[in-house]
Amino acid sequence: GGREGALGGTIAVGIRIPVAPHHGPIIRVGLGGELLGNSQFYYSHIDLPLGEIGYQYINGHTVFEIGGRGASLITGRYNTGDSFRRELGTSLEIGGYLAAHGEHGRIDVSFMHIAATPDPGTGVDVLRGAACGYVTPKVAICGDGMFIHGDEQPPLPTVPPSTPLSTSSTSIYGGVLVGFAIN
């Protein structure tokens, strides 16, 4: 698909209820979003407000967190190929996440279902994961992947009468990153 670009992030604030010194339930609110794409693929969403509820354990370098996430989608799109597109519009998003971080690496996994209501009226599912190994204190090797599945529509002015008004589309994205710390 050519050169690609990505921009995304989440800003959230919250509290952890101190059940014990190193763990307890957490509640967060915030906003998030992302843009990802190239000439054959485009995926975006803006979430406001975003809410998370889960359970967190932190002790030294060890962090483990599992929880659920829900958000109101302000806008978004899921487009594959040259002409198929999907406006996600204002819809709801629900999912879950798991994060495990330690002295030698980290793993993050999340699932999101966007209950998109604009035509064709079916949801979009997003599964993503990332894993990093800290090879040395100054070198990390990471892999990430994303699986997106949903229905899309061809451009309406050019649709022959026999063409279905939507088609199912699956996109798989992955990458490898090597990072170096410079002190």
Q: What is the pTM of this model?
A: 0.84
Task: Name the pairing type of β-strands 124-136 and 5-16.
Answer: unpaired
The neighbouring-strand residues paired with 42 are: 37, 79
Confidence (pLDDT) at 51: 96
Rounded-to-integer distance, Cα 152 and Cα 120, Å: 7
Rounded-to-integer distance, Cα 144 and Cα 173, Å: 8
Confidence (pLDDT) at 65: 97
Strand runs labelled E in the chain? 5-16, 23-37, 41-59, 62-80, 91-102, 105-115, 124-136, 139-152, 167-180
Amino acid at 124: V
DSSP 163: S
Other CB atoms within 10 Å distance of the CB of residue 93: 23
> Residue 37 in contact with residue 72, Cβ under 8 Å?
no
pLDDT tens track, the chain, 183 positions: 677 788 899 999 999 998 999 999 999 999 999 998 888 888 899 999 999 999 999 999 899 999 999 999 998 888 887 677 778 878 899 999 999 999 999 999 999 999 876 556 678 999 999 999 999 989 999 999 999 998 877 665 555 555 555 678 888 888 899 999 887
Amino acid at 171: S
pLDDT tens-digit series, residues 64-110: 999 999 999 998 888 887 677 778 878 899 999 999 999 999 999 99
Confidence (pLDDT) at 116: 74
The neighbouring-strand residues paired with 93 are: 71, 114
Rounded-to-integer distance, Cα 47 and Cα 39, Å: 24
